[in-house]
Amino acid sequence: MLHANIKTGEEVIHMATPAEEELGESKWEVKVPEKKLKDKLFFENLKAVVIDTNLCSRCLTCVSICPSGLIVTDEDIVGFPDFEKNCFDCGACVRVCPRFIYEPPSGLGNYIEIVAAKSKRFKGQDGAMATELIASAIDMGMIDQGLFVDRNEKWETSIFHVRYPEQVGVGTLGGTKYVFAGILPALKEAIRFTKKGVGVVGTPCMISGIRKLQQEFPVFKEKVKLVVGLFCTENFHYNDLMKFLRDEKGIEIEKILKTNISKGSMYVTVAGAEKKRKIKMAEFEERGLVAKGCDFCTDFTAVQSDASVGSVGSEAGFSTIIVRNENAKEVMAFIREKGTAEFGEKVVMDEIDYLIKFKKKREEHIKELKLPE
Amino acid sequence: MKKVGTPEYNLQDKLKYHLSALSTAAKQVALPLNITTHYPRERRRWPDCFRGYILFDPERCISCFQCSFICPANAIWMKEAPSNRYYPTLDYGKCIFCHFCVDSCPGGALKPTKIHDVAYRTMEEMLTLTEEMVEPPEIIREDKVFVDYVIDTEDLSLKRTKGRDNLIVEIAPSQGVPMVSQCVDRASCIACKVCEKVCESGAVSSIKDEERLIVKMAIDAEKCTGCGLCVKECSMQILRLVRK
Ligand SMILES: Cc1cc2nc3c(=O)[nH]c(=O)nc-3n(C[C@H](O)[C@H](O)[C@H](O)COP(=O)(O)OP(=O)(O)OC[C@H]3O[C@@H](n4cnc5c(N)ncnc54)[C@H](O)[C@@H]3O)c2cc1C
Ligand code: SF4
Ligand code: SF4
Ligand code: SF4
Ligand code: SF4
Ligand code: SF4
């Protein structure tokens, strides 16, 4: 039941229309992954190998696929209360977890072009090109839904399903929230209702999760059409970060307009204050505030994405975009044709290389890790 | 141009027409010929497809939620019974008597009646709980005659019959189009067995082959009633109902 995608020539699973299906008894086989801990439930395997070792990146791929719907992220940690009773032992979670069998991606990855650009219609963290890519993909009819990370006054994240480009220009949809977000569980919902396909923006760990989902399950391959990765060095747990900013730094969370990490410091723009608050990254590290899973992450540029967007490498107000495949190239061509973005002078590769190397060093942490046998 | 003049009657004609008019009036006084029924003393005999009060048979319900999903007025609320099963409750404050629920029920658990005259004192009372839907509601019946509308070639007339019409209709539950569940994207199945767990008819089976590390899934078309429960619950949304 394979046929080729008209555009890419890639083989995709064909969703048979009922009439094409032979009637009578319907039978099929499903592969079950191998357990590392033989006589334990699959969730216990995941817990022992990924969660208890702090390897977990909190990408929430497992949450998105678990049929019980009971994997949760209370207190910022991925867990499954009462899993002994409620885990179906299907193994879907370990099939999709990018860190159960971890092949850490790193480097600059494949690319067609690397450019600096700035959206003319949207405002964002840097050049709002992450937003522009998704909005343009909607405009050109490649996707009919884009998933964005929104936030409330308390900087708690939620996922917003964008259907019209006009929806993204307003409010808090653009901009970086340095806390984890439930993009993947929302993606599972989105593929149920999309006709043309879904576009997502996420951190490199989430991109790895999406690729795993696509590799394992054809529905994701068919319906997730544009995957935009963000450059990423680290992320924070919501409760820890807010407590620190509020209690130790005396910042009223509700008044924060923007957070930005650059050159080894976090800059917090607070409403009413003249100057940005500068907090050295070392302060976060000393207190162990950086999410533990990031310690084992070597992927700065989201090498598995269709296009990656980040701030380093281009001047202030511009985003750096790494266009990796034909899919993303098509969207960039559309942006150029419509003139919705302004292109920058050039990209300083040294800055990107520096952070790639910086993250590559974390391979040491992975080597030191003791995984259960 | 032709002019239409007043008809010319002679005395004999005039007398004849006057008498006829008087006799018609006298007849109507004695035996009025109207086309309204004297409800509640008499009741029109409605056809069996009349959309009235809805009864519920828990024996036939498979808790598929179909009725509550389809209700355009949001009048059906599924409530958990002590058996942990979910059954419909019906709010007559909202119901628009479209009977979509009756038609959608795969098990024929919702049954139409010809009852259209239930009175409530409060809005709260109109929320009819499952247990109250099993038996017909208490209504006061003053009717001793039922009325049929008879249409002959020219006229509509009423035919009155002594007795009481049975408001509970005895019709076989709707069979619907025979459907069967099928997996349309087998490679995306995670073998979570949710389908097997929810199937009331034992139509889904899963066998784990420990050696080959696979799970063999199967839907038995013979046993499948096409209720659609598995389609709704499948965690990967890869099951569909197709015509048998
Ligand atoms: C946790 C994190 C760490 C980062 N670290 C670096 C870094 O070290 N160096 C660097 O150059 N760039 C980093 N970035 C990327 C950078 O902050 C900008 O997101 C990027 O340059 C895109 O800017 P933009 O103006 O084009 O995006 P915009 O158009 O403003 O869009 C931002 C996009 O990011 C998404 N987003 C926001 N918060 C999150 C989140 N928590 N998780 C997933 N998606 C989110 C939004 O949905 C939106 O689509 C990081 C981003 C994140 C989320
Ligand atoms: S039910 Fe399946 S996916 Fe969920 S935790 Fe258990 S094995 Fe993992
Ligand atoms: S790394 Fe992602 S998929 Fe794996 S356990 Fe953590 S949240 Fe789940
Ligand atoms: S550093 Fe890696 S693990 Fe941490 S948020 Fe970024 S991509 Fe995810
Ligand atoms: S549709 Fe068929 S297989 Fe699915 S739950 Fe109903 S009877 Fe079982
Ligand atoms: S519920 Fe869906 S995914 Fe789960 S075993 Fe059944 S068909 Fe497969």
The pTM of this model reads 0.79
Query: Is residue A276 within 8 Å of A269, Cβ to Cβ?
Result: yes
Q: Is B192 close to A67, i.e. CB distance below 8 A?
A: yes
Residue A7 has pLDDT above 80, yes or no: no
Q: What is the pLDDT of residue A25?
A: 56
Find the length of chain B. Answer: 244
A94 to chain B: closest CA residue? B190
Helix ranges restricted to H, A25-118: 42-46, 61-65, 83-86, 92-96
Q: How far apart, in whole angstroms, are the C-alpha atoms of residue B119 and residue A339? A: 67
The yes/no answer on whether domain B42-162 falls in CATH 3.40.605.10 is no
In chain B, % of residues over pLDDT 90: 66
A39 touches chain B (CB under 8 A): no
- Does residue B224 have its Cβ closer than 6 Å to ligand 5? yes
Q: How far apart, in whole angstroms, are the C-alpha atoms of residue A215 and residue A208? A: 10
Q: Cα dihedral angle (A314, A316, A318, A322), rounded to 10 degrees?
A: 30
B58-62 long-range contacts, Cβ below 8 Å, gap at least 24? Answer: B58/B87, B58/B109, B58/B130, B58/B134, B59/B109, B60/B105, B60/B107, B60/B108, B60/B109, B60/B173, B61/B85, B61/B87, B61/B88, B61/B105, B61/B107, B61/B109, B62/B106, B62/B107, B62/B109, B62/B200, B62/B227, B62/B229
The residue-averaged pLDDT of A101-125 equals 95
Q: How far apart, in whole angstroms, are the C-alpha atoms of residue B226 and residue B147? A: 41
Residue A265 has pLDDT above 90, yes or no: yes
Instruction: For residue B214, give the nearest of A16, A19, A31 by CB distance.
Output: A31
pLDDT band at A147 (very low <50, low <70, confident <90, very high): very high
Q: What is the pLDDT of residue B177?
A: 72
Q: Tell me the pLDDT of chain A averaged across its residues.
A: 91
- The helix (run of H) or strand (run of E) holding residue A279 is strand A277-280
Q: What is the pLDDT of residue B151?
A: 85
Q: What is the pLDDT of residue A328?
A: 97
Distance from the first to the final alpha carbon of chain A: 39
Q: What is the pLDDT of residue B176?
A: 64
The residue-averaged pLDDT of A64-86 equals 92
Query: Is residue A111 within 8 Å of A85, Cβ to Cβ?
Result: no
Q: How far apart, in whole angstroms, are the C-alpha atoms of residue B204 and residue B146? A: 51
- Does residue B230 have its Cβ closer than 6 Å to ligand 5? yes
> What are the residue ranges spanned by the domains of chain B?
42-162, 179-243
Instruction: Identify the CA nearest to B61 among candidates B107, B129, B128.
Output: B107
B244 to chain A: closest CA residue? A23
Ordered domains of chain A (ranges, CATH): 113-235+291-366 (3.40.640), 238-285 (3.10.450.750)
Question: Six-digit token pair at B134?
Answer: 């099993």
Distances in Å between the alpha carbon of B146 and those of B30, B33, B163? 21, 16, 6
Residue A365 has pLDDT above 70, yes or no: yes
pLDDT in tens, A269-294: 999 888 999 999 999 999 989 999 99
Q: Is A32 close to B208, i.e. CB distance below 8 A?
A: yes
B237 to chain A: closest CA residue? A192
Q: How far apart, in whole angstroms, are the C-alpha atoms of residue B184 and residue A20? A: 10
Residue A14 has pLDDT above 80, yes or no: no
Query: Is residue A90 within 8 Å of B193, Cβ to Cβ?
Result: yes
d(CA A127, ligand 1 centre) in Å? 11
Q: What is the pLDDT of residue A214?
A: 97
pLDDT in tens, B134-160: 999 999 999 999 999 988 877 778 899
The residue-averaged pLDDT of A293-318 equals 96
Q: What is the mean pLDDT of each run of 10 residues along chain B (244 residues)?
A: 84 93 91 83 92 94 90 96 92 96 89 93 95 93 92 81 92 75 93 94 93 92 89 92 87
Residue A205 has pLDDT above 70, yes or no: yes
What is the CA A239 to chain-centroid distance, rounded?
A: 20
d(CA A57, ligand 4 centre) in Å? 6
The residue-averaged pLDDT of A117-121 equals 95
Q: How far apart, in whole angstroms, are the C-alpha atoms of residue B63 and residue A369? A: 50
Query: Is residue A99 within 8 Å of A206, Cβ to Cβ?
Result: no
- The helix (run of H) or strand (run of E) holding residue A72 is none
Question: Six-digit token pair at B97?
Answer: 């008597």
Work out which ligand 5 atom sits closest to the CA atom of B220. 3
Residue A4 has pLDDT above 90, yes or no: no
Q: How far apart, in whole angstroms, are the C-alpha atoms of residue A301 and residue A307? A: 9
Task: Kindly report which listed range (A218-222, A359-363, B4-8, B112-116) carries the lowest average pLDDT score.
Answer: B4-8
d(CA A260, ligand 1 centre) in Å? 9
The yes/no answer on whether domain B179-243 falls in CATH 3.30.70.20 is yes
Q: What is the pLDDT of residue B174?
A: 63
Around Cβ B239, how many Cβ atoms within 10 Å? 24
Distances in Å between the alpha carbon of B82 and those of A301, B110, B129, B242? 55, 20, 13, 34
Note which residues in 55-74 of chain A have CB less than 8 A from chain B.
Answer: 65, 67-68
pLDDT band at A219 (very low <50, low <70, confident <90, very high): very high
Q: What is the pLDDT of residue A19?
A: 43
Q: How far apart, in whole angstroms, are the C-alpha atoms of residue A278 and residue B148? A: 88
Q: What is the pLDDT of residue A23?
A: 41
Q: Tell me the pLDDT of chain B averaged across its residues.
A: 91
Q: What is the pLDDT of residue A3?
A: 40
Q: How far apart, in whole angstroms, are the C-alpha atoms of residue A249 and residue A242? A: 10
ipTM score above 0.85: no
d(CA A90, ligand 2 centre) in Å? 5
Q: What is the pLDDT of residue B63?
A: 87
Question: Six-digit token pair at A248?
Answer: 């130790």
Q: What is the pLDDT of residue A20?
A: 42
pLDDT in tens, A174-188: 889 999 999 999 999
B85 Cβ partners below 8 Å, 6+ apart? B61, B63
Instruction: For residue A29, give the nearest of B181, B192, B214 by CB distance.
Output: B214
Task: Evaluate the CA torsion angle B57, B63, B68, B69 in order and state its sign.
Answer: negative
Residue A267 has pLDDT above 70, yes or no: yes
pLDDT in tens, B91-106: 999 999 999 999 888 8
Q: How far apart, in whole angstroms, are the C-alpha atoms of residue A295 and residue A363? A: 9
- Does residue B63 have its Cβ closer than 6 Å to ligand 5? no
What is the CA A289 to chain-centroid distance, rounded?
A: 20
